[in-house]
Amino acid sequence: MTCRTHWQARRRRGAFAATTMGFALFTAACSSQQAYGAGQAWQRLECSKIKDTQERSRCMASSSTSYEEYKRQAEAAKSGK
């Protein structure tokens, strides 16, 4: 391996490591409440694509559960096991 290819390989490894570290820090900084909100927004977007009015309304209603209510339901489900 020449000096140039060695340097290029090290540079690529460094860029990969920096990208991986950045992603890890980003995902660690994202709270579960933020992730829940993003999921709810995605679900509402998908609901808006439903043609049938009643089904779209049911979908929208299920996507409007607050994070606090979601946590209560999750805890209740864990306790019921």
The predicted pLDDT at position 31 comes to: 84
The predicted pLDDT at position 69 comes to: 93
Residues 77 and 47 in one domain: yes
Average pLDDT taken over every residue of the chain: 79
Residues 37 and 76 in one domain: yes
Does the predicted TM-score (pTM) go above 0.85?
A: no
Please state, in angstroms and rounded to a whole number, the distance separating the CA atoms of residues 67 and 65: 7
Instruction: Show the domain range for 23.
Output: 1-30
Residues 12 and 41 in one domain: no
What's the CA angle centered on 43, arms 42 and 49, to 5 degrees?
100
Residues 11 and 37 in one domain: no
Structure tokens given for 52: 């049938």
Residues 20 and 38 in one domain: no
The predicted pLDDT at position 26 comes to: 58
Residues 63 and 79 in one domain: yes
Residues 25 and 3 in one domain: yes
Q: How many secondary structure helices (H) and strands (E) does the chain include?
A: 4, 0
Give the tens place of pLDDT for each residue, 20-48. 655 555 555 568 888 899 999 999 999 99
- Structural domain total, the chain: 2
